[in-house]
Amino acid sequence: MRQDRPLLGIGLVLVFATLASHLDATAKWFVQSYPVLQLVWIRYTVLFLALCAAIPWLGWRRVLGTQVLLLQVARGTALWLSAATFLAGLSFLPFATTKVIGSTAPLIVAAIAMPMLGETVGWKRWAAICLGFAGLVAVVRPELGSIELAMLFPLATACSYALYQVLTRHVSAIDASLPSLFYTALLGFLLSSCLVGLVWVPPTPVHLAVLVVHGLLVGVGHFIMISALAYAPASLVAPFGYVSLIWAVILGYLVFGEQPDAFTLVGGSMIALAGIALSLTARTKEKA
């Protein structure tokens, strides 16, 4: 049930951004020792099993009830691709660079909102979109038509996550949030299980324990974000999610000894400003 408690919604988003950034930093540390597909499989398996264990208390209909199964499958697949390509990017690129490029998803959503969702995209939104993509060019810095191939991973993350967000808009108008979370976990578990046997590396007991906790905290993060959107509209809380970019720079330096160059910092700032501008225009439209 929706409640009008904007400060609580903002606080939860700040908690989510902080938690997600630390979980991403943990994932980057692990991709140095384990295959990406194995880490994705563990993340989704833990979340899936936790939800299955909760079904007797939550009820089968409440967890599995959906009126748009095909959309749930497409949505879950898009998020799985987003997670897999993001972790792949972390294995090749600096932490902050991967986070900055991946954060362009809201710009892509805004750009495709008119053809896919029938939304009106005015000149202010187009200006913000152009600013954000200019920031992306500053980060990627293609020279003479060349581009570092590893940067295609976070670009794929942004595209697949944008598709996930668009599909979520459709699904959220029909299904409750709990079935959406369950089918997301189910699709991620099934897709990862088909491939993980090809790359499996036996984890140490300590690493396995940490990865299990990591998977549970990913689920906690999902619940925190869902709760935030229950207390405040997305257009209000979305700008505060860009705190994760600040955390990316801090953790990249403290944990991995990475110092982002001026292009990454400037480009990331442009992307964040563009995302905030898009949220403000959406907020103005809601009030109109």
55-74 per-position pLDDT tens digit: 988 888 888 888 989 999 99
pLDDT band at 142 (very low <50, low <70, confident <90, very high): low
146-201 per-position pLDDT tens digit: 457 788 899 999 999 888 888 877 787 788 778 888 998 999 999 999 989 999 99
pLDDT band at 1 (very low <50, low <70, confident <90, very high): very low
**Three-class secondary structure assignment of the chain:** CCCCCHHHHHHHHHHHHHHHHHHHHHHHHHCCCCCHHHHHHHHHHHHHHHHHHHHHHHCHHHHHCCCCHHHHHHHHHHHHHHHHHHHHHHCCCCHHHHHHHHCCHHHHHHHHHHHHHCCCCCHHHHHHHHHHHHHHHHHHCCECCECCHHHHHHHHHHHHHHHHHHHHHHHHCCCCHHHHHHHHHHHHHHHHHHHHHHCCCCCCHHHHHHHHHHHHHHHHHHHHHHHHHHHCCHHHHHHHHHHHHHHHHHHHHHHHCCCCCHHHHHHHHHHHHHHHHHHHHHHHHHHC
Asked if residue 144 has pLDDT above 50, the reply is no
**Domain boundaries in the chain?**
6-287
Average pLDDT over all residues of the chain: 84
